[in-house]
Amino acid sequence: MDPEKNTERQMDTADGRLRRTEPATPVKVLAASALEPGTEIGCYTIVSRLGEGGMGVVYKARDRSLERTVALKFLPSHLYHNPAFMQRFRTEARAQARLHSPNVVTLFQLLEIPAGLVLVMEYVEGRTLEQHIRENGPLDAEEAVRVFDQALRGVESAHAMGIIHCDLKPNNIFLTRSGGVKLMDFGIARILGHGEPGNVGAVIGTLLYIAPEQLNGRQADFRSDVYTLGISLFEAITGRLPFERKTHYGLMHAHAVERPPSPRIYQHNLPAQIEAVILKAVEKDPGRRFQTAAAFRVALLSHGGKPAARASRHATSPGSAGTLLARAFPPRQIVASAGFDLALLAAIISLALWLGFVPVPPVPAPASPPQSAVPPVIHTPAIAGPQSPPQPAVPVRPAAPFSPRLPGKYRLLQRVWGGS
């Protein structure tokens, strides 16, 4: 056997260079799609197959040297001898090796072995945004803002390193079980300054999400990622794409010429401000879009919610007093209960007034009419004679106040309410 063919080459992610090393345990040439659990690739042991995409087959594996779980991505066997796809695969390695962001899947190593070209990447539990939409339906506005806030942070990190992803579709946005968001699959990324992969004018990306300038033969730039992520946000919120055509030509024509429909046609509860952000991100003219991923993210947060770090659903511990109170007495329930209590009190007062339970203030007696002036008393000399005995004064009893006659069973209630 030619020792040159049995060597292992690996890339140091610190500087992105390929270095030839001594061969590891010999591995017979196998089709990447046929690796069984227990197969050893260098220091990695295959655990299970995770899936297959246009740029490779992905396996879950165990790193025996560092005692950790990793993901191994193999170039499809039928593409292994295609120089263009091999170059694209190496480009993905360079792109991810230069990125250090919590919102981008980390690349650990690039291996070239007889079994194929392999990317050793961070293993993350969860599912893609595409799977989430298919299984659970579209996201509500608040959740969409949380997800795309993190996705845009990852895009900002890539752009800061001069890397354009070119294919930011929901299938490349990964939702972790812990609530995080990570970008993956930089297999068609273009690194500015290197012109990889392919030449200017090449159509690179998924037609369902591709930016118009790429279809027109212009070079993709950072604003192309803004457009693609805007299309993905449209789909995440509405559950459908803005342009759905049966042919490639129809899709290309729609992206290049047709105006996208209003997202609120499909999601009536969507705030108008978020709709405006989406439509600005998918403008045909790159000059009319958000010029950076950071501007896109700021606009989305200003109209749609708080940053992910502060808007997490788990920000408050489940057992805290505030959480328990909020669960026991939701705001809507408190308002409804208060309204019912006020209505009941008003009904009781009205009934009491109608039955006479509430004492009515006594009506003052009408004033006596003015009396005429008393005539002057004329003193005459007393006439001698027998005097009649003085008559005793008759006491005058004051009139009793008016009180409505009520049945006997109501008199006690009237006294309780303050009546006589």
CB-facing half-sphere around the CA of 377: CA atoms within 13 A: 2
Angular region, 101: left φ>0, alpha ψ -120 to 50, beta rest: beta
Phi, psi for 245 (deg, rounded to 5):
-125, 160
Phi, psi for 297 (deg, rounded to 5):
-65, -45
Q: If you average pLDDT over residues 105-124, what whole number do you get?
A: 86
Annotated catalytic residues are: 167
Q: What is the CA radius of gyration of the chain?
A: 43
* The pLDDT of residue 142 is above 80: yes
**Pairwise CA distance, residues 69 & 62, whole Å:** 5
Comparing C-alpha atoms, which of 18, 20, 93 is closest to residue 55? 93
Domains defined for the chain, CATH in brackets:
3-122 (3.30.200.20), 126-313 (1.10.510.10)
Q: If you average pLDDT over residues 1-8, what whole number do you get?
A: 42
- Is residue 70 very low, low, confident or very high in pLDDT (cuts 50, 70, 90)? very high
* The pLDDT of residue 397 is above 70: no
One-character DSSP codes across 41-103: ETTEEEEEEEEEETTEEEEEEEETTTTEEEEEEEPPGGGTT-HHHHHHHHHHHHHHHT---TT
Instruction: Answer whether 187's CB lies under 8 Å from 107's CB.
Output: no
Token pair 């009941």: residue: 344
Quote the mean pLDDT of the chain: 74
CB-facing half-sphere around the CA of 178: CA atoms within 13 A: 8
Token pair 């009904």: residue: 347
Write out the E strands in 151-289. Answer: 163-164, 173-176, 181-183, 190-191
> What pLDDT digit, counting tens, does each position of 257-290 carry?
999 999 999 999 999 999 999 999 999 999 999 9
Structure tokens at 296: 């896109």
- Is residue 16 very low, low, confident or very high in pLDDT (cuts 50, 70, 90)? very low
Token pair 């329930």: residue: 333
Residues 6+ apart with CB under 8 A from 191: 91, 94, 95, 162, 163, 164
- Is residue 182 very low, low, confident or very high in pLDDT (cuts 50, 70, 90)? very high
pLDDT for residue 342: 74
Instruction: Answer whether 41's CB lies under 8 Å from 72's CB.
Output: yes
* The pLDDT of residue 150 is above 90: yes
Token pair 């502060």: residue: 310
**Pairwise CA distance, residues 137 & 143, whole Å:** 12
* The pLDDT of residue 29 is above 80: no
* The pLDDT of residue 337 is above 90: no
How many CB atoms neighbour CB 298 within 10 A? 15
